[in-house]
Chains A and B, each alone.
Chain A
């Protein structure tokens, strides 16, 4: 079996297992909150993974996530809240409209050679502000009053409200991650990596740079908007200030940098860790220091593990597994925490701390235990999967 088939089967297994979690609620009698916690993770996994398709793969640093997410939220809200569409019909439209927004933006920014680097980042940020103003000023969109989404009907096959949101977020997150994975191991993905490293050289070697950047941006925008459309019913009441703010773009950056932008799994790992920590800090009544803690973490990690923790986890998978499950089992058995989520949070923090150990120190430890010298293939090249083997 090829590596790709195995990975795709893995997605099906993980997806099915997670999809069955709501069915276990009565048997395992876990609090309802666990479902909400999990679908918050799915939301961020989709946002971070979709952002990484453009920014991580092609190197074009985008703050446009907030705009695409916002377009998705508002498309669904206007169609459902103002025009009485059924939610499940409005949802794909949200993805399409956000994708179209991305492509229009791309037509402008990718045609102008000078719009690279900081200027590109600022342009994408400006788009969110412009869209927010348009929505605020236009009564047919928002007009400054907000839109009520409470009581929106979801298809009964998906279960009651929370379960339905859970299953839909899971589905969209899976679509986002599988898309990121398939692009990562394809011509498109490698063309994007080449663009990230040196766009002029890539073009000279035959990479159709404009088309590839448009595809990446389109995928990013439509996935972000699709999840945004779904999130509108979770928000219940949609306002400009809640939707078009810096939170979404900032968090996807944090998550991807933490997990690693070179690999499709990086943003997934980052989203899980940051969502879990943010949740625990909030429930401990530390919502105010939440951002300080996460911001500080980002600085430390950006300095210590430039490639992101996921690449190191792969290189040190044994240690990762022992640390994570060790801490998890100990905290559960000792009953230190009231919530299982806290146990996971402890395990994640412990794992991240172990990953902070510098490469050189790591090599010395390996040597001390008589392991063979690590191969010459260094961390930099590790981010790209070995394909064709």
Chain B
């Protein structure tokens, strides 16, 4: 069953075209890897799907509802959550309080007292119990990325958009994170993962979508897509392509 259907989405900022025209369909239970060189429009697409700004043109249908022009908090209440490439915790709150806020609002209304108690399960899930009640400035990058995950999960999403959760992690941390992503998926969450780490993305994804200059240049099974000449060209330029040939 289709959970998200993007049709002809366009977005420009002043004279810069961020999304030329993107169409994309995601089925329930998939893990989609969204890759592409810098400036290809990956983050723009995530921002658009989570309601940070509306699309200039095109439709974004989530479970049959057009969400293209809904405000972010309405989209969150429909069950789409996201993380940020550079972690953006609420700085005057502890990790526990960060998660509580997201549980309180998120997909369903919950009372404050209930939320503080519920935060515990996400702290445990992401292994942040030991830093649950300190200032967020005492967390490592790794922990901050996990806090991003915990906070997104606490909204009880059906569709989770992960913006480079693996970037900047060491190999051990990366394996831990990949394991956690699999566990999230096992709970029935559909995932759209933006990632630069190719090894991780090919291992995790059930399908890979490649963006280049605001256009979808490839869409298919991981091995096939990564071998696609257009993809190689997008990453390495025409020279890379001829070098490979």
Contacts and interface: CB of A to CB of B under 8 A. Distances in A.
Interface of A: 185-187, 190-191, 193-194, 196-198, 200-210, 262, 376-378, 380-381, 383-384, 387-389
Contact of A205 (B52, B71, B93, B105): B105
A205 B101 contact: yes
Contacts of A201: 84, 88, 90
Contacts of A380: 91-92, 135, 137
B14 to A, nearest CB: 15
Contacts of B112: 185-187, 190, 387-388
B106 A206 contact: yes
B105 A388 contact: no
B151 interface: yes
B135 A190 contact: no
A131 B115 CA distance: 43
A7 to B, nearest CB: 15
Query: For this complex, into which size category does the number of interface residues on chain B fall?
Result: 35 or more
A196 B104 CA distance: 17
Interface in B105-144: 105-107, 109, 111-117, 133-135, 137-138
Nearest to A113: B53
Contacts of A262: 92
B111 A206 contact: no
A210 B137 CA distance: 28
B90 A208 contact: no
B93 A187 contact: no
B133 A204 contact: no
B93 A381 contact: yes
Contacts of A381: 92-94, 97, 133-135
Given A190-B100, A201-B90, 4 more contacts: A203-B51, A206-B102, A206-B155, A377-B134
B88 A198 contact: yes
B144 to A, nearest CB: 13
Contacts of B92: 193, 196-197, 262, 380-381, 383-384
A194 B104 CA distance: 12
Contacts of A384: 92-93, 97
B162 to A, nearest CB: 13
Given A187-B104, A377-B133, A206 B77 contact: yes
Contacts of B113: 387-388
A197 B73 contact: no
Interface of B: 50-52, 71-73, 75-77, 81-82, 84, 88-94, 97, 100-102, 104-107, 109, 111-117, 133-135, 137-138, 151, 155
B106 A205 contact: yes
A206 B114 CA distance: 17
Contacts, number: 113
A202 B76 CA distance: 10
Contact of B93 (A186, A193, A204, A207): A193
A185 B101 CA distance: 12
Contact of A193 (B73, B90, B107): B90
7 contacts: A190-B101, A203-B76, A204-B52, A204-B76, A209-B73, A380-B135, A381-B93
A387 B114 CA distance: 10
B150 to A, nearest CB: 12
Given A377-B134, A381-B135, A388-B116, A203 B90 contact: no
A186 B138 CA distance: 27
Given A187-B112, A207-B73, A378 B135 contact: yes
A205 B151 CA distance: 8
A116 B101 CA distance: 23
Contacts of A204: 50-52, 72-73, 75-76, 81-82
A203 B107 contact: no
Q: Which 8 A-B pairs have the closest CB atoms?
A: A388-B116, A206-B105, A206-B76, A197-B90, A388-B113, A203-B72, A205-B102, A206-B106
Contacts of A207: 73, 101, 105
A162 to B, nearest CB: 41
Given A193-B90, A197-B91, A205 B135 contact: no
A196 B114 CA distance: 22
A194 B134 contact: no
Contacts of A187: 104-105, 109, 111-112
A388 B88 contact: no
B123 to A, nearest CB: 14
Nearest to B102: A205
B183 to A, nearest CB: 21
Contact of A377 (B50, B94, B151): B94
Contacts of B50: 204
B236 to A, nearest CB: 34
B133 A203 contact: no
Given A200-B52, A203-B73, A387-B113, A191 B90 contact: no
Contacts of B104: 187, 190-191
Residue picked from B51, B104, B109, most chain A C-beta under 10 Å: B104
Nearest to B151: A205
Residue picked from A185, A378, A388, A389, most chain B C-beta under 10 Å: A388
Nearest to A189: B112
A84 to B, nearest CB: 47
A389 B71 CA distance: 34
Contacts of B117: 388
Contacts of B137: 380
A308 to B, nearest CB: 13
Nearest to B130: A376
A107 to B, nearest CB: 16
B49 to A, nearest CB: 11
